[in-house]
Amino acid sequence: MAPEDALTLRPVGRVASPLVDPGEAPRQPDEGAPAAWLVFDPAMADAIRDLAVGDQVVVLTWLDRSRRDVLTTRPRNDPNAPELGVFSTRGPDRPNPVGLHTVRITAIEGARVRVDGLEALDGTPILDVKPVLGPIPDR
Amino acid sequence: MAPEDALTLRPVGRVASPLVDPGEAPRQPDEGAPAAWLVFDPAMADAIRDLAVGDQVVVLTWLDRSRRDVLTTRPRNDPNAPELGVFSTRGPDRPNPVGLHTVRITAIEGARVRVDGLEALDGTPILDVKPVLGPIPDR
C-alpha cells in the first residue's frame, strides 16, 4: 500500500435513505430502521457483481456526522445509565466512526443495491461490503 | 466532523502477534489464528476502561498490507474457484481493507488487551472495538 493513501478512506458509494435528521435515526436495527439504497460508484461494478437478492451482508459505513473526540458515553443517551468507555458501546461517536450494519439485499438495479433496515443517515459514505458466512461474524 | 480529517483514519493501537509473514496468516479463525495483544495508545485509556476479561468483542483493523486496487478475486486463493467480486468475499484485498475479527478478551494489562485467535499480522493498526451484543452482529 502506498504511503500517501495508507490511512485514507475512499468511499465506494453512498447511502440513499429517508433518514436525514440525526435525531430521528433509530438506535438499533429492530427499532424501525428503514430500507435504503446502497448507491455504488460505477467504478465498483466488478466488486458488486456477485451480490444477489437474498444475500445477508455486513455493510461498513463511515458515520461522517459523528464526533471523533468522544471516549466515554452513556449508552443510548440514557442520562441514568453509567458512562462507559466507547469501546464497550455501539454508539456512533468514537475515534474511528465505522458503522457495521447486517442487512439483507432485497433488490439490485445496476449499481444500486436495496437493503432492509439500515441505520445510517442519507449520504453516509459506504466503505465496504462483506458476506455473512455463518454464525461467527468474522468468518 | 472537520473536513480535514473527514476520511482519515487514526489508529487507536496496534496488534502485537506472532504472525509476521503474510504467507503464514491463517485464512479463517478456526484454522489456528494465534492469540495476540491489542496494544492501545495510552490516550485511549478511557475508551478501553470498561473492557473486561471474558467479553466477546469485534475488533476492527486496517489491513495495511493489502492491495486496494483489487475488485475481483478467487476465494481463499483457490485457482479452481470461480473469481468473485470482492464484496462477495472476505479476502483482505479490497478498496477499503477493514478487517473484522470477533474475539474474546482473555487478559488485560494496562493498555494491553489479550485476545484469542486473531487473524491479523503483527503491527496491524487497530481502528475500533465494539461489543458483541447478541446473535445479530450489528446490535
Q: Which of A23-27, A76-80, B2-6 has the lowest mean pLDDT?
A: B2-6
Quote the pLDDT of residue A139: 36
Which of B119, B135, B132 is closest to B61 using CA atoms? B119
Specify whether domain A11-131 bears CATH 2.60.120.380.
no
Q: Which site among B30, B128, B138, B139 would you substitute to test the A interface, given the most A Cβ atoms closer than 10 Å to its Cβ?
A: B138
pLDDT cut 70: percent of chain A above it: 86
Nearest-by-Cβ selection for B64 from A1, A28, A67: A1
- Restricting to B residues 82-101, those with a Cβ less than 8 Å away from any Cβ of A are 84-90, 94-96, 98-101
Using CA atoms, how far apart are residues B14 and B123, in angstroms rounded to an integer? 5
Task: Determine contact: B16 vs chain A, CB below 8 A.
Answer: no
- Restricting to A residues 42-61, those with a Cβ less than 8 Å away from any Cβ of B are 44, 46-51, 55, 57-58, 60
Q: In B, which residues are within 8 Å of A94 by CB distance?
A: 47, 128
Quote the pLDDT of residue A31: 62
Q: What is the ipTM of this complex?
A: 0.89
Q: Taking the domains of chain B in order of start, what are their residue ranges?
A: 32-131
Q: pLDDT tens across B64-86, in order?
A: 999 999 999 987 767 888 899 99
Residue A57 and residue B29: Cβ atoms within 8 Å?
Answer: no
This model's pTM is above 0.95: no
Q: What is the DSSP letter of A82?
A: P
Would the pLDDT of B139 be above 50?
A: no
With contact defined as beta carbons under 8 Å apart, do B116 and B103 qualify?
yes
Classify burial at B18, counting beta carbons within 10 Å of its beta carbon; exposed 0-12, middle 13-18, buried 19 or more. exposed
Confidence of residue A99 (pLDDT cuts 50, 70, 90): very high
Q: What is the DSSP letter of A116?
A: S
**Residues constituting chain B:** 139
Using CA atoms, how far apart are residues B115 and B20, in angstroms rounded to an integer? 17
Would the pLDDT of A36 be above 50?
A: yes
Q: What are phi and psi of B112, to 5 degrees?
A: -110, 130
Would you list the DSSP string of B50-119?
T--TT-EEEEEEE-TTS-SS--EE-GGG-TTSPPEEGGGS--S-SSS-EEEEEEEEEEEETTEEEES---
CATH class given for the domain over B32-131: mainly beta
Quote the pLDDT of residue B136: 44
Please indicate whether residue B5 or residue A93 has the higher confidence score (pLDDT).
Answer: A93
Quote the pLDDT of residue B3: 56
Residue B51 and residue A87: Cβ atoms within 8 Å?
Answer: yes
Confidence of residue B22 (pLDDT cuts 50, 70, 90): confident
Quote the pLDDT of residue A138: 42
Q: pLDDT tens across A108-119, in order?
A: 999 999 999 999
Quote the pLDDT of residue B79: 80
Confidence of residue B32 (pLDDT cuts 50, 70, 90): confident
pLDDT cut 90: percent of chain A above it: 74
- Mean per-residue pLDDT of chain A: 89
Q: In A, which residues are within 8 Å of B74 by CB distance?
A: none
Which of A109, A108, A102 is closest to A30 using CA atoms? A102
Residue B60 and residue A96: Cβ atoms within 8 Å?
Answer: yes
Using CA atoms, how far apart are residues A104 and A107, in angstroms rounded to an integer? 9
Q: Which residues of A89-117 are buried (b: 16+ CB within 10 A; e: fewer)?
A: bbbbbbbbbbbbbbbebeebeeeebbbeb
